[in-house]
């Protein structure tokens, strides 16, 4: 099954002389229940493609599907509701709410969707991400790595169909990074969660099931990834 699909997507920022063609015919299919890594040089369109696939932004041309819903037919409000229901996003800069505790940040997607938290699932996430003794802290009282893990827990809290993570190991030391990558693999392989991760780091990408390469706003290649724990 396909969890999300971009077909021949063009995304242009700005207009006239200063317009930037951030995506220039990008086509990518995200298989459900797998861990996909997206790599490519800075400026190649990785973040723009994630934002398009997540329904955070509209595109100028081409087609974007989340599940079997074509985003082109939706109003902004409908897109927001679809995103709340089916998409988790780990932002590069975390985007945690500074006035809320870690626990409140993690449950925010459920609060916004008016849904009751699945206690056992939230507890499992908190446990697996090593956040149990940090739940009452506000973001400013957490390390960068802890904030990043809270952002990951928040993205998974509502059990969305698909989770996007933009450089989720960017602020972590290698040990914390490996723990987080191991967790993302577990989420895909044991829990059936679809994960899409942008990374600059080939070691991080090797935790994924497949690696997609972008250049100049297009997908230019795709490889199955070797699994790091076995080869190291």
Enumerate binding residues for ligand ADP (CB under 6 A): 13-14, 20, 22, 40, 42-48
Q: Would you say 129 or 165 has its CB closer to ligand ADP? A: 165
Q: How far is the CB of 144 from ligand ADP (least distance, A)?
A: 16
Q: How far is the CB of 213 from ligand ADP (least distance, A)?
A: 11
Q: How far is the CB of 88 from ligand ADP (least distance, A)?
A: 17
Q: Would you say 19 or 113 has its CB closer to ligand ADP? A: 19
Q: Would you say 33 or 43 has its CB closer to ligand ADP? A: 43
Task: Give the relative orientation of helices 144-157 and 119-128 as an angle to the nearest 10 degrees.
Answer: 150
Q: Would you say 26 or 156 has its CB closer to ligand ADP? A: 26
Q: Would you say 32 or 215 has its CB closer to ligand ADP? A: 215
CB 139 within 8 A of CB 98: yes
Q: How far is the CB of 21 from ligand ADP (least distance, A)?
A: 8
Q: How far is the CB of 146 from ligand ADP (least distance, A)?
A: 21
């Amino acid at each position: 099954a396909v969890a999300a699909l971009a077909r021949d997507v063009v995304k242009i920022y700005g207009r006239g002389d200063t317009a930037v063609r951030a995506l220039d015919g990008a086509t990518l299919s995200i298989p459900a229940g797998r861990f996909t890594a997206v790599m490519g040089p800075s400026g190649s369109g990785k973040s723009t493609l994630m934002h398009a696939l997540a329904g955070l932004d509209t595109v100028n041309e081409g087609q974007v599907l989340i599940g079997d819903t074509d985003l082109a037919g939706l109003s902004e409000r409908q897109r927001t509701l679809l995103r709340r229901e089916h998409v988790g996003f780990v932002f590069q800069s975390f985007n945690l709410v500074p006035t809320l505790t870690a626990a409140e940040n993690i449950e925010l997607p459920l609060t916004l969707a008016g849904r009751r938290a699945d206690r056992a699932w939230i507890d499992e996430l908190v446990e697996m991400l090593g956040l149990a003794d940090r739940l009452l802290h506000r973001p400013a009282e957490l390390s960068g790595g802890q904030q990043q893990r809270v952002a990951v827990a928040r993205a998974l809290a509502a059990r969305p169909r698909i989770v996007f993570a933009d450089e989720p190991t960017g602020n972590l030391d290698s040990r914390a990074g490996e723990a987080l990558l191991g967790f993302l693999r577990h989420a895909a392989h044991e829990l059936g969660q679809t994960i899409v991760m942008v990374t600059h780091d080939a070691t991080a990408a090797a935790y994924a099931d497949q690696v997609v390469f972008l250049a100049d706003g297009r997908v230019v290649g795709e490889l199955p990834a070797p699994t790091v724990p076995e080869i190291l």
